[in-house]
């Protein structure tokens, strides 16, 4: 069975129609067509039998002129009397023709003499030859006299009307399915972090309109919640920054009277954590979708690696330009690559953009992450201190932010062992 609603709906419409037409055609063939042909053939053979009885019962003129005239004018049969030659050999029978069998059965039942039939020599006439005692009677009858010739017209009308009704049904069905497809497209775009189509609004049947209206309300609630969260954290961050500024000012006024290095380091750490909290809460959700060039971005990463004295290699398969939220996506890849730069010596990045998906694979030769901890590192504020340098700094939000951005684009991030001996991070998003 097809998986798409449009195809399934077409089958729901087409299957009963085809079944109904098949039943009607079968009943027509079995009852009407065969019965009418039987009656017509019986009437033609009855007329021929009557002519033979007249020939055998009453004397006829030498040329049978009167009998031929009566047959032509009254019975619409063109007869002729031939010498007593052997009948022709039986000709090939049509693959599908009930006329031969029915006409032959009637001649055997009513006349019971040797005969020969040709139903395919002329499309409009049927030739019948009957062996008499000292002669052969040849009869030409119109095919319509012995055969229900309106069958083809009936079948053509039946199939033609079915096709016309089916075309109308498909047209209306497409209009009914279109609002559902638009709703699916809008939901998919919103799930990938993109703006829904500007012309989207609930259309179609009442149930589809209700679903579309529910989606719009849900989208507005989510956007409002994100906006409220960002606004709240921005306010908290602003207030805390004010307090931290006062701390710095007070430390500056203290001068060299006491050792303030530790306090200044704590303030710097708090400042870094606040920036991380705000970035994690914001996740660049308010950014619009735009074009992002992977080649230029990888070139910047290579320059950054050179400054840090790290080896960096990159390759791209497929189109280098993708449609994402540029700043957020840049932050996503930068967080992962910066992690590799921090703990590894050589890093390689491979981008595969084909068949509607973008897969970015980042490999390094660092210490890696134990298998049992690979899900934990994506949790906010989680720091893998055993494998990483505690003095390197950080808030434990880098991977959490990266995963949040990937999922807001409709994708995901997975971690595995790298062929280089370190960690492999795979980012896969629809693009």
Res. 277: pLDDT tops 70: no
Distance separating alpha carbons of residues 153 and 230, to the nearest angstrom: 73
What pLDDT, in 10s, does the model give residues 314-349?
Answer: 999 999 999 888 888 898 999 899 989 988 999 999
Res. 58: pLDDT tops 60: yes
- Compute the average pLDDT of residues 234-260: 70
Is the separation of the CB atoms in 311 and 345 below 8 Å? yes
Res. 394: pLDDT tops 90: no
Burial 340-356 (b: 16+ CB within 10 A, else e): bbbbbebbbbebebeee
Res. 166: pLDDT tops 80: yes
Residue 390 confidence (pLDDT): 40
Res. 128: pLDDT tops 50: yes
Tokens describing residue 186: 């809008």
Q: Which residue has the tokens 């009566």?
A: 70
Cβ within 8 Å of residue 129, ≥6 positions away: 82, 87, 88, 115, 116, 117, 136, 137, 138, 139
Half-sphere exposure of 381 (CA within 13 A, CB side): 6
Residue 152 confidence (pLDDT): 66
Residue 286 confidence (pLDDT): 58
Distance separating alpha carbons of residues 184 and 276, to the nearest angstrom: 35
- Compute the average pLDDT of residues 167-192: 82
CATH 3.30.70 fits 5-152, yes or no: no
Share of the chain above pLDDT 70, in %: 81
**Cα end-to-end distance, the chain, whole Å:** 29
Residue 123 confidence (pLDDT): 67
Residue 388 confidence (pLDDT): 43
Tokens describing residue 413: 């991030």
Least confident segment among 71-80, 132-141, 153-162, 397-406: 153-162
Angle in degrees, CA 200, 191, 290, rounded to 5: 80
Distance separating alpha carbons of residues 408 and 401, to the nearest angstrom: 10
Q: What is the CATH number of domain 287-430?
A: 3.30.565.10
Burial 165-203 (b: 16+ CB within 10 A, else e): eeeeeeeebeeebebbebbeebbebbebbbebeeebebe
Name the residue ranges covered by the structural domains of the chain. 5-152, 287-430
Phi/psi at 58 (5° precision): -115, 145
Q: Which residue has the tokens 């808030």?
A: 395
Distance separating alpha carbons of residues 174 and 171, to the nearest angstrom: 5
Residue 387 confidence (pLDDT): 42
Angle in degrees, CA 189, 173, 8, rounded to 5: 75
149 confidence band (pLDDT: 50, 70, 90)? low
């Amino acid at each position: 069975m097809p998986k798409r609603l449009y195809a399934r709906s077409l089958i729901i419409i087409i299957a009963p129609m085809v079944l109904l037409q098949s039943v009607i055609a079968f009943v027509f063939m079995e009852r009407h067509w065969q019965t009418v042909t039987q009656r017509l053939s019986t009437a033609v053979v009855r007329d021929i039998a009557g002519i033979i009885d007249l020939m055998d019962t009453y004397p006829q003129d030498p040329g049978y002129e009167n009998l031929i005239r009566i047959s032509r004018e009254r019975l619409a049969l063109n007869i002729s009397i031939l010498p007593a030659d052997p009948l022709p050999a039986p000709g090939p029978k049509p693959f599908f023709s009930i006329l031969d069998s029915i006409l032959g059965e009637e001649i055997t039942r009513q006349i019971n003499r040797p005969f020969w039939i040709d139903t395919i020599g002329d499309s409009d006439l049927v030739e019948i030859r009957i062996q008499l005692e000292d002669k052969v009677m040849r009869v030409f009858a119109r095919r319509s006299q012995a055969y229900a010739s309106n069958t083809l017209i009936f079948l053509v009308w039946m199939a033609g009307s079915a096709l016309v009704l089916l075309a109308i049904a498909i047209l209306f069905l497409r209009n009914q399915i279109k609002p559902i497809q638009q709703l699916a497209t809008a939901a998919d775009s919103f799930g990938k972090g993109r703006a829904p189509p500007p012309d989207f609004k609930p259309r179609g049947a009442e149930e589809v309109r209700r679903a579309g209206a529910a989606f719009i309300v849900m989208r507005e609630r989510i956007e409002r919640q994100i906006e409220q969260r960002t606004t709240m954290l921005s306010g908290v961050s602003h207030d805390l920054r004010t307090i931290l500024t006062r701390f710095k000012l007070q430390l500056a006024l203290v001068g060299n009277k006491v050792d303030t290095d530790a306090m200044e380091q704590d303030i710097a750490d708090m400042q870094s954590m606040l920036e991380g909290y705000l970035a994690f809460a914001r996740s660049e959700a308010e950014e619009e979708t735009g074009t992002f060039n992977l080649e230029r971005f990888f070139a910047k990463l290579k320059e950054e690696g050179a400054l840090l004295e790290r080896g960096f290699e990159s390759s791209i398969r497929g189109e280098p330009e993708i449609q994402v939220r540029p700043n957020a996506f840049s932050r996503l890849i930068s967080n992962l690559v910066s992690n590799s730069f921090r703990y590894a010596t050589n890093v390689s990045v491979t981008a595969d953009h084909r068949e509607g998906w973008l897969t970015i694979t980042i490999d390094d030769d660092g210490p890696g992450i134990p298998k049992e901890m690979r899900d934990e590192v994506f949790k906010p504020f989680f720091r893998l201190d055993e494998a990483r340098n505690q003095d390197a700094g950080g808030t434990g939000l880098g991977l959490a932010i990266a995963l949040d951005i990937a999922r807001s684009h409709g994708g995901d991030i997975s971690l595995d062992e790298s062929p280089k001996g370190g960690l492999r991070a795979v980012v896969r998003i629809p693009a």
